[in-house]
Amino acid sequence: MPENRPARVDAHGEQLRLLHVHAHPDDESSKGAATTARYVAEGVRVVVATCTGGERGSILNPAMERPDILANISEVRRAEMDAAREILGIEQVWLGFVDSGLPEGDPLPPLPPGCFGLTDPAESCRPLVALIRQLRPHVITTYDENGGYPHPDHIMCHRVTMAAWEAAADPEAFPELGEPWAAQKLYYHFSFHYDRMMALHEAMLARGLESPYAERLQGWQRDPEHQARITTRVPCAEYFGVRDAALLAHATQVDPDGSWFAVPLEVQVEVWPTEDYELARSRIGSTRPDGGLEDDLFAGIAVPAPAAGQVAGAARE
């Protein structure tokens, strides 16, 4: 947070608190990381809950395919998470579940026994309920019902978060886990949607550059109903560099020469300067201005910051 900049607060004068719930280490850097960096800079307390350790994740950066890394992938990924956490300026909690891996084949093989994807969310929500009651977040984010993409851990992350959203506020649920806390809003990440991808694709072609999205967009028909789910666009382009640095900290998962970084930063800033979300649950009603789009996850919660002149005037008094 910039020096001498006050923390953002709610109507009671409490520092705003944001909880991101993610499936694996690296998800916090590939989904909403620029939003995270913006809020950290504004004095919001941001905590990431990571459901699994990524133990069964593949190495996606060819430069990291070494025997010593393969033999110690759990420790390596924890160290990567530590580095990303420092870059983003967040707190981070491991919920303690075991990575399910991404099943491949036809038919798909069964998930490994004991993995996160096979848990019962009514019970496996317990550590998240405990965290919510301890942290008392104003806002929670997670993935939609499809997990953002159909990885079993992402889908279970959604189910566990939704169960915890309800249970944490229920005084009769898990009373041993602390005093109930009802978070005010819950959002789904809307990171890789058609409109954003097509806009970046066309911008690359217009500049005579090769688009990393050409193959993916072939045959992908725009779904107006899916696009209409976006309720919130958070301006955060000035933090895209922080996002990229956090991504690169996950060196086993991100190839610096791969598609993540194929679109120049200046193109992203010009063409799509926001990260996008769907307001999926709200306990304070609609916070969308005249049915339009929000530009702040804390809309309806945060006390508006005083104008610069007001701050200066108050300092002189």
Q: Which residues pair with 91 in a beta bridge?
A: 47
Do the beta carbons of residue 191 and residue 230 sit within 8 Å? no
Query: CA-to-CA distance for 185 and 244, rounded, in angstroms?
Result: 27
CA gap 184, 139 in Å, rounded: 6
* Residue 63, amino acid: A
CA torsion sign for 115, 117, 121, 126 is: positive
Residues pairing with 278 in the sheet: 188
- State how far the Cα of 1 lies from the Cα of 254, in Å rounded to an integer: 27
Q: Name the DSSP class of 99.
A: P
Packed helices 126-135 and 152-168: angle between N→C axes, nearest 10 degrees = 50
Preceding peptide of 107 cis, ω within 30°? yes
> Which residue spans within the chain are E strands per DSSP?
17-22, 45-52, 91-97, 139-142, 185-189, 232-235, 274-282
> Quick check: 51 and 21 in contact, CB under 8 A?
yes
Give the annotated binding-site residues for Zn(2+): 24, 27, 154
Name which of 257, 258, 253, 260 is nearest 99 in CA terms.
Answer: 253
| CA–CA dist 122, 102 (Å, integer) | 23
| Binding-site annotation, residues | 24, 27, 154
Please state, in angstroms and rounded to a whole number, the distance separating the CA atoms of residues 189 and 233. Answer: 11
